[in-house]
A and B are shown apart, each in its own frame.
Chain A
Amino acid sequence: GQQLNQSPQSMFIQEGEDVSMNCTSSSIFNTWLWYKQDPGEGPVLLIALYKAGELTSNGRLTAQFGITRKDSFLNISASIPSDVGIYFCAGPSGGSNYKLTFGKGTLLTVNP
């Protein structure tokens, strides 16, 4: 099946720093989604992208749909301690818009 590779697997940063992470696919996606999961909770949808080249922001978060349609990027500006968590990318797979493939996540730690 389709695989999503997220990079990096983990990040340790200082409060106030900017963060970049990315996700690549072995095949073309028509939608990219980014989720954040806090410990002990379910994921929360952060940003949804629908068009190649699209750049979408949600507060300090900005995500981009790569032009090749095989990658996506998530940037967090001026990180704060509550940004800590696991960030997952995901995209529809298996020929169905309802079936999502998730990456394995990027664990973000922010030191105050």
Chain B
Amino acid sequence: NAGVTQTPKFQVLKTGQSMTLQCAQDMNHNSMYWYRQDPGMGLRLIYYSASEGTTDKGEVPNGYNVSRLNKREFSLRLESAAPSQTSVYFCASSGQTGLHQPQHFGDGTRLSIL
């Protein structure tokens, strides 16, 4: 009953470091998403993958790259972290019911860039 699993839960980086946020879902969902959430703001879409093998930019893609490794996994990479990327990152998925918007979210990765 895992749903959407994100790792790590917390991370502190120095400016310029790189890292990859991992996300996996066990619900056989086609679509997966990466969002960031900043204080006082709603979630903003970074990238999404409508199906295995495809990825598209969202609202705030600059500074990020993604990989849809297979149907289960969708990773988010920061090549050169900047303080402006300090945020809480959420991965989400949606299933086969025709709903193209996220249904299930992970519990988030809290990322601080110093």
Contact = CB atoms under 8 A, between A and B. Distances in A.
Interface size, B (range): 20 to 34
A94 interface: yes
Contacts of A97: 100-101
Interface size, A (range): 20 to 34
B105 interface: yes
Interface in B53-112: 56, 58-59, 90, 92, 99-108
Contact of A48 (B50, B99, B106): B99
A41 B101 contact: no
B105 A44 contact: yes
A43 B105 contact: yes
Interface of B: 4, 31, 33, 40-45, 48, 50, 56, 58-59, 90, 92, 99-108
Given A41-B107, A45-B104, 10 more contacts: A42-B4, A42-B90, A42-B92, A42-B106, A44-B105, A88-B42, A94-B59, A97-B100, A98-B100, A104-B42
